[in-house]
A and B are shown apart, each in its own frame.
Chain A
Amino acid sequence: MDALEILFTASFWVAAIRIASPLIFATMGELICERAGVLNLGIEGIMTAGAFAGWFTVYAGGDLWTGVLVAALAGAMFGLLHATLTVPLGLSQHVVGIGVTLLATSLTYFTYRLALPEVTSPPKIEPFQPLPIPGLSKNPVVGEALFTQTPLTYLAFLTVAVVAWVLYRTPVGLAVRAAGENPSAVEAQGISVTGIRIGAVMVGSALMAIGGAFLTMSAFNSFFFEMINGRGWICIALVVFGSWRPGKALVGAILFAAFDAYQVRLQQMSGGIVPYQVFLMMPYALSILALILVARRATYPKALMIPYQKGER
């Protein structure tokens, strides 16, 4: 098959949308945090914890949606820890974020070893199955790519719509955006900036954890160490690339995933002339490139990473 022909096959786009799904969840999660003024570098660890929590719930006998819920709760708890340290206490969001990532990752590995001391290969679960949408899934390429996915992918797209609607069409969303732009204006309205920010970080972290759970419960069927593999950091780049807008970030995530799916296929076609590591580097290199391209015109939320204390200007 020709390298360009791949782009017109349904299987390629089905894979791209599947690869995009966890990124969409986590990118929306990070976007909510940053829109409220908090950079959440706990993302990588929170995704790890979510991947484990969801998978382990199902392995222990829970059903799949209970697994998603447990993952979200685990994420929200790490979000609460992050927010407690960074919002009322105003500690460095860089240091706390890295700390939360280290803690969530190590707690996950500890729990895994404690719960499954003897296993050499991780046990498998019955993951979410594809659920073709009648009618729509019959459309060539586009229909197949979008509508033969698992329920969690549909939830990812729904999440983007809900996040966009809440951020731009509801009073809560206005308060979240204002907390990231001009916190004293929020306080002037009698709304607590601290409360808004803590809430945003908890909700955002829950979404990151669901993104992690997608990997163990929909894309694959088991939990591996280091399976997040930098996806969290890539999502931080995607938020910047999407200029903090849900729709643009969604497009960025899909473009990124399409590129990732494409490099895998190119790798298979290259016949080993180019070392496979070069292809594996591409997603990370692409993320850095994307950051450089948009950096000049990036409009960060003005209060991002600036702690807020009541009564200060």
Chain B
Amino acid sequence: MRLEPKPAPSLALTLLFPIAAIVATLLITSLLVLAAGASPLSVFYLVAKGAAGSQFALLETLTRATPLIFTGLAVAVAFRAKLWNIGAEAQLYVGGIVTVVLGTGALPLPSVILIPVIMLAAMLAGGLLLLGPAVLKTRFGVDEVVTTLLLNFIVLLFVSMLLEGVLKDPMGLGWPQSQKVIAEAQLPRIIQGKRLHYGFVIAIVSAIVVWVIMKKTVLGYEMRAVGHNPEGARFVGIPVNRVLMKTALLSGGLAALAGFSEVSGLKGNLTLDLSPGYGYSGIVVAMLAMLNPLGVIASAIFVAGIFVGADAMSRTAKVPSYIADVMVATSLLTMVVAILLTRFKVRWR
């Protein structure tokens, strides 16, 4: 078997491949649905209905998509420069920590100043958390995959320590949770009485800003060059290490915004279950979007829809909601195969 490069595919074909990957995913996971003794068509219908069948469902999907857009962007930015940031989960929690530290009354400022201050501080903290592994990579050659993965565990334990210590809510009846952020630090709801909040708008704006950075600025060009061919980039005078540092700051910062937006827009406080793996799902979101920042919006809504829809489905059908996690993981693998097929022709000799 050989792989031969083929010319760049047309736009229509490029859009066709994610769809093909999703179809393949549905076919594979329908085997599991059959194993659970249910009919795949009705289960997938229930998932789709649970994700987008009503105004409530749709708003819930967009709410769930919000943190995934941030973590998806974080991964897309990093992977574009081949900085393997698997630590978005940790950076998300660091963003959450900063939000409750600054947002529970420490800074008595009006909303219009307080929220940007918290956002910037959260981004800085998340960026610095990823800067560590990035420096270890460029200085000592330590693989960032392992360090960022291990940091996820360390940071979660750190959060647990804070929630049982200095950040513990004295009125929390002993639960490991922080105090609620003050009203000035809360992101308002987009529709009164619904859960969807302005974090979603910030996420969309972030995606556009990241798209502009990646496509229209020197930094974006350098990041793509470093990811494509680091030796070549160094040869033409791109400061590869400095570009990787900037990538780390941007990527970690975006992931931290997920934590900020969840605390400030949705939950109000920091708990140990702030994220059910948004950092890891962000990898799938980014890959489904083929690392395109605007595509991240669509793929985050899609992935969120699977999770929200599967929750609703499992309440009526006897299929465990973990089917959503299987679908998301499977779509990551079918997607990388689909991307490969856009670039190469497989020739069986």
What residues of chain A have their CB less than 8 Å away from a CB belonging to chain B?
41, 81, 85, 88-92, 94-96, 98-100, 102-103, 105-107, 109-110, 113-114, 117, 229-230, 233-234, 236-237, 240, 275, 277-278, 280-281, 284-285, 287-288, 291-292, 295-296, 298, 309-310
A310 to B47 Cα, complex, angstroms: 44
Interface contact B150-A106, CB-CB below 8 Å = no
Q: Known: A99-B332, A117-B318. Contact between A110 and B326, CB under 8 A? A: yes
Closest residue on chain B to residue A280 by CB atoms? B157
Closest residue on chain A to residue B36 by CB atoms? A114
With both chains docked as a complex, state the minimum distance between the C-beta of A311 and any C-beta of chain B, in angstroms: 8
Query: Does B109 count as interface, using CB distance less than 8 angstroms?
Result: no
Interface contact B136-A237, CB-CB below 8 Å = no
Query: Does B154 count as interface, using CB distance less than 8 angstroms?
Result: yes
A298 to B153 Cα, complex, angstroms: 25
Q: Known: A85-B337, A237-B146, A298-B141. Contact between A230 and B3, CB under 8 A? A: no
Q: Known: A95-B287, A99-B332. Contact between A113 and B147, CB under 8 A? A: no
Query: Does B330 count as interface, using CB distance less than 8 angstroms?
Result: yes
Interface hits, B104-147 → A, CB 8 Å: 136, 140-143, 145-147
Q: Which of A81, A102, A236, A240 contacts B328 (CB 8 A)?
A: A102
Known contacts A91-B336, A91-B337, A275-B161; can you find 9 more A-B pairs with CB under 8 A? A81-B333, A99-B332, A106-B326, A110-B325, A114-B319, A114-B320, A117-B318, A278-B161, A295-B142
Residues in B neighbouring A98, C-beta threshold 8 A: 86, 280, 283, 332
Q: Which of A105, A275, A292 contacts B165 (CB 8 A)?
A: A275
Q: How many A-B residue pairs have CB under 8 A?
A: 131
Residues in A neighbouring B165, C-beta threshold 8 A: 275
A114 to B161 Cα, complex, angstroms: 34
Chain B count of residues within 8 A CB distance of the other chain: 48
Query: Does B323 count as interface, using CB distance less than 8 angstroms?
Result: yes
Query: Does B41 count as interface, using CB distance less than 8 angstroms?
Result: no
Residues in B neighbouring A278, C-beta threshold 8 A: 161
Give me the 6 closest cross-chain CB pairs, A-B, nearest first.
A106-B325, A113-B320, A102-B329, A103-B329, A277-B161, A110-B322
Q: Known: A85-B333, A298-B141. Contact between A103 and B326, CB under 8 A? A: yes
Interface contact A275-B164, CB-CB below 8 Å = yes
Query: Does B221 count as interface, using CB distance less than 8 angstroms?
Result: no
A237 to B143 Cα, complex, angstroms: 9
Query: Does B218 count as interface, using CB distance less than 8 angstroms?
Result: no
Interface contact B1-A88, CB-CB below 8 Å = yes
Query: Does B274 count as interface, using CB distance less than 8 angstroms?
Result: no
Q: Which of A85, A106, A284, A295 contacts B336 (CB 8 A)?
A: A85
Interface contact B146-A233, CB-CB below 8 Å = yes
Residues in A neighbouring B280, C-beta threshold 8 A: 98, 102
Query: Does B13 count as interface, using CB distance less than 8 angstroms?
Result: no
Interface contact A96-B141, CB-CB below 8 Å = no
Residues in B neighbouring A234, C-beta threshold 8 A: 150
Residues in A neighbouring B206, C-beta threshold 8 A: none
Interface contact B149-A233, CB-CB below 8 Å = yes
Closest residue on chain B to residue A278 by CB atoms? B161
Q: Which of A88, A106, A230, A291 contacts B142 (CB 8 A)?
A: A291
Interface contact A109-B322, CB-CB below 8 Å = yes
B-side interface mostly:
helix
Residues in B neighbouring A310, C-beta threshold 8 A: 2
Interface hits, B317-349 → A, CB 8 Å: 318-320, 322-323, 325-326, 328-330, 332-333, 336-337, 340
With both chains docked as a complex, state the minimum distance between the C-beta of A31 and any C-beta of chain B, in angstroms: 15
Which of A95, A287, A295, A296 has the most chain B CB atoms closer than 10 A to its own CB?
A95
Interface contact B323-A281, CB-CB below 8 Å = no
Q: Which of B84, B140, B340 contacts A91 (CB 8 A)?
A: B340
Interface contact A295-B320, CB-CB below 8 Å = no
Residues in A neighbouring B323, C-beta threshold 8 A: 110
Closest residue on chain A to residue B141 by CB atoms? A295
Residues in B neighbouring A233, C-beta threshold 8 A: 146, 149-150
Interface contact A41-B145, CB-CB below 8 Å = yes
Q: Which of B1, B147, B158 contacts A288 (CB 8 A)?
A: B147
Interface contact B154-A99, CB-CB below 8 Å = no
Interface contact B158-A89, CB-CB below 8 Å = no
Interface contact B325-A109, CB-CB below 8 Å = yes
Q: Known: A41-B145, A106-B326, A281-B157. Contact between A94 and B320, CB under 8 A? A: no
A45 to B79 Cα, complex, angstroms: 22
With both chains docked as a complex, state the minimum distance between the C-beta of A43 and any C-beta of chain B, in angstroms: 11
Residues in B neighbouring A296, C-beta threshold 8 A: 140-141
A117 to B318 Cα, complex, angstroms: 9
Residues in A neighbouring B3, C-beta threshold 8 A: 89-90, 309
Query: Does B249 count as interface, using CB distance less than 8 angstroms?
Result: no
Interface contact B32-A237, CB-CB below 8 Å = no
A298 to B137 Cα, complex, angstroms: 13
A100 to B336 Cα, complex, angstroms: 12
Interface contact B284-A102, CB-CB below 8 Å = yes
Interface contact B333-A99, CB-CB below 8 Å = yes
Closest residue on chain B to residue A310 by CB atoms? B2
Query: Does B160 count as interface, using CB distance less than 8 angstroms?
Result: yes
Interface hits, B147-204 → A, CB 8 Å: 147, 149-154, 157-158, 160-161, 164-165
Interface contact A89-B287, CB-CB below 8 Å = no
Closest residue on chain B to residue A239 by CB atoms? B146
Interface contact B157-A291, CB-CB below 8 Å = no
- Beta-carbon contacts of B264-288 to A below 8 Å, as 1s and 0s? 0000000000000000100110010
